[in-house]
Structure 1
């Protein structure tokens, strides 16, 4: 289990799962696997979902619960618990959202692909931290903290996009019941230290499942239930739940989602015939994130200096962070599914764009992170300090 809690191994599993999905989809077994993904499971006439939707709307809600628990901790006790700590990653995150959107729209504005503008705004924290762990030996901890804060802020924006942009025909009664269940979940989670811990834990699991089901029935994307439950839960039991769930999320939930999302048949066309949905995402992730995060992060660094604050990272480290931010993957894949839910061709090309752009960003990040890591190791051998690296 400790292996599944590490930074490196889950990123490898995720990459293998996505590659396997792409290979299977383009093999003779592809049609059979695609048919299996559309088999409906559940209680007939009461609650049924296809296998694909159980993964995308059901299992992925657990991932978002874990993300929300981490978000709650960082906002209250961690690296985002004050305006001073959050300023540089917040400004950099804004650049890492706005610049990719602008680049995507350069390709897609005025076309049917334009609705996919949210797709290249996400950063996959598991992949980014995995690359950092593999190639970043010797880097200061400030870079990991900055990247974690940046990715969490990205997740907030992604959650807002899912909740606001991809919700329609909301059943307010169902949503109100789901909200009441979330409140009850939060209240009961604060009683877990008492003598009735076991029955309360069982009750919390049942309430969480019901909150998810009513959220799904309301028309709001069901992963939002995971977010709400993670934010509502008392912090200490929430962190314990995250510790228990993390290996399952890393070893099962995310690989299954990556495999199912990557079940895309590669179009038998020339590159010039690919839609703007592909080119926009494939360019916006590696290029937009690199430019947006490093440029806006540098602006934040300069502003911090003018106010007398100690800047968190030099510009060279911001370049490495920007490249890592371009590894969109999990949330970008989900946004591709949602943005082009009514057009299978555009959805598949956007997914291919996510895979392509994320791989380019992964390679670029590996080079930049290795470069910075070697520099810091040389600095350490020479008896220097990372603080000396802050750009003038």
Structure 2
């Protein structure tokens, strides 16, 4: 029997509950104690590993999540829905629109106030939540709609990963970065020698090499989660899929809820003190994503002159666009990175991600349920 924590609907519920607990704790009488735990130092002073509990969660545990995401990316790019340019073209165009439109919405609201650096925050889509909504209310949607959404979310993740790697590196040590890349190559080579009597020993060595690659990546100045991404892309596909399968319950039940809890530890300001950063993100996620994904995909289908059997109904594109506005995990990480130097604005960015994602979640539940019912009636 499948482990219950492999269920996308349970994963989405746990993520939502963890974020809600974070907000409640941060605005409760226990807030001071909770923040003390979050900022409790567990690292080695005066080194790159001088991290507190919250940073170990965001830089360490979240690297495991990015490893599993990258394994799925590798599979989709080599054996799955994105292995051919023809299959990937429409989701790629929609993903580009789903990134560009939220950026425009955010900049129109926040840039005039001098907070333009937060533009990457509303560009991400949370795969776990999108699949969770589909699992709950999407029964009956055509397979091509599900494939389109999955490909769109995966391409969206690639863009988010690129933003993290390129925009938020600081004081990069190219020597350390080169050493991290060498270790990642060694990890990939070892994964291709698995099997036989030394299999378990090789796995143990691979774990040591992976931890070393993460540590060196952290010391290089590039965000440590990128090590998880590169390790997931480097690993041989079969052992990589096995590892991701083993890690999935831990990611869904521990890693993502802990990150959501930690990231959502923000004090709620009064409505009159909400900054343009909050409004920019809270509107860019549900509105910008919907316009960008549905509008771009609809135009692309006409320009590409797809056969009727390959086209997706505009109402289904709207459903995909509403799901795309659920940012959560990667958006929360981007919010923390974009406003690292200003904790108050960072908190407002996090609130913007949570409010925008919840708005998109509510709309998506209604729209996806409506489209699923329509397709079930049509099939009947």
Partner of 1:212: 214
Stretch deviating more after TM superposition (317-326 or 169-178): 169-178
SS at match of 1:374: helix
Matched, 1:122 2:121: no
Matches within 5 A, 1:19-168: 19-42=20-43, 47-168=49-170
The aligned residue for residue 351 of structure 1 is: 350
Figure out how many residues of one structure are paired with residues of the other and give that number. Answer: 378
Give the whole-Å Cα distance in 2 for the aligned partners of 1:158 and 1:282. Answer: 18
Measure how far apart 1:143 and its partner are.
Answer: 1.6
**Cα separation, 2, equivalents of 1:285 and 1:330:** 13
Q: CA deviation at 1:133?
A: 0.8
Distance 1:105 1:73 in 2: 35
Corresponding residue of 1:180: 182
Deviation of the 1:45 alpha carbon: 6.5
Q: State the alpha-carbon separation in 2 of the partners of residues 311 and 142 from structure 1.
A: 8
- Residues 334-386 of structure 1: per-residue CA shift (max 9 Å, x gap): 000000000011100010000000000000000100110110111111xxxxx
Aligned residue for 2:51, secondary structure, equals: strand
Deviation at 1:333, TM superposition (A): 0.2
Distance 1:82 1:312 in 2: 17
- Post-superposition Cα deviations, 1:124-151, rounded to whole Å, max 9, x if no partner, equal 0000110111111111122221111001
**Segment of structure 1 superposing worse, 20-29 or 40-49:** 40-49
List aligned pairs for 1:201-240, cutoff 5 A: 201-240=203-242
Q: Name the counterpart of 1:277.
A: 277
- 1:295-326 Cα shifts (integer Å, max 9, x gaps): 01111211232x65843411110000000000
Name 2:376's counterpart in structure 1: 377
**C-alpha contact (below 8 Å) 2:44/2:51 kept by paired residues:** no
Contact kept in structure 2, 1:304 and 1:311, CA below 8 Å: no
- TM-score (norm. length: structure 2): 0.97
1: CA distance, partners of 2:308 / 2:284: 32
* 1:119 Cα deviation after fit: 0.3
- The separation in 1 between residues aligned to 2:214 and 2:67, in whole angstroms, is 11
Show structure 2 runs of 5+ residues with no match.
none
Whether the 8 Å contact between 1:65 and 1:227 is mirrored in structure 2 is yes
TM-score scaled by structure 1?
0.94
Q: Distance in 2 between matches of 1:30 and 1:79?
A: 45
Correspondence for 2:304:
304
Q: Within 2, Cα distance between the matches of 1:287 and 1:111?
A: 20
Give the match for residue 252 of structure 1: 254
- Compute the displacement of 1:43 (Å): 5.1
Query: Are the equivalent residues in 2 in contact too, given 1:87–1:300 (CA < 8 A)?
Result: no
CA offset at residue 44 of structure 1? 6.1
Deviations 1:22-80 (A, max 9, x none): 00000010111101111111456764421011100000000000000000000000000
